[in-house]
Amino acid sequence: KAGVTQTPRYLIKTRGQQVTLSCSPISGHRSVSWYQQTPGQGLQFLFEYFSETQRNKGNFPGRFSGRQFSNSRSEMNVSTLELGDSALYLCASSLGGFTDTQYFGPGTRLTVL
C-alpha cells in the first residue's frame, strides 16, 4: 500500500505571497492532519480534516487554512506569507478514529524569502 505523499517537496516563496501544499493520504484513510516543524517551536499541530470537515484546530492564525476533498486528499493554504512561515510542513493520515495511529508523509520544505 502506498504511503502518504506530499507535493511539492520543496517550495521557495517571497513574503506576501500565498502557497498551497497538497497531501494524499494512505488509501482507505479518511483523516488528514497537518503539522508545522521549525527548529524553534518544534512540531506543532495545525489542523485535522475528516470527511471534508475540519474536526480539530491548533493555535495558528487564520492565514493558515485547509480543505479536504471527497477522495480524502487535502490541501493546506498559507496566505500573506511571513518569514516565520519557513518550515517543514508534514501531513499525516489515519483511518479516522481519535486514537488511530497517524502515518506521516515526507513533508514539504517551504522557504520564505
How near is the Cβ of 106 to other proteins at its closest, in Å? 4
C-alpha to C-alpha distance for 51 and 21, rounded to whole angstroms = 19
Q: Is 34 exposed, middle or buried (0-12, 13-18, 19+ CB in 10 A)?
A: buried
Q: Which of 11, 21, 33, 110 binds other proteins (CB under 8 A)?
A: 33
Which of the ranges 60-68, 69-77, 78-86, 93-101 carries the binding residues for other proteins, by CB under 8 A?
93-101
Q: Give whole-number Cα distances, 36 to 90, 91, 110, in Å.
A: 6, 9, 10
Determine if 42 is a binding residue for other proteins (CB under 8 A).
Answer: yes
List 11's β-bridge partners, or say none: 110
Q: Does 45 bind other proteins (CB under 8 A)?
A: yes
Task: Rule CB under 8 A: say whether 75 interacts with other proteins.
Answer: no
3-state percent breakdown (helix, strand, coil) of the chain, nearest 5: 5, 55, 45
Single residue of 21, 29, 31, 87 touching other proteins by CB under 8 A: 31
Q: For residue 80, give the C-alpha cell.
A: 500573506
Residues that bind other proteins (CB under 8 A): 4, 6, 31, 33, 35, 42-45, 48, 55-56, 58, 90, 92, 98-99, 101-107, 109
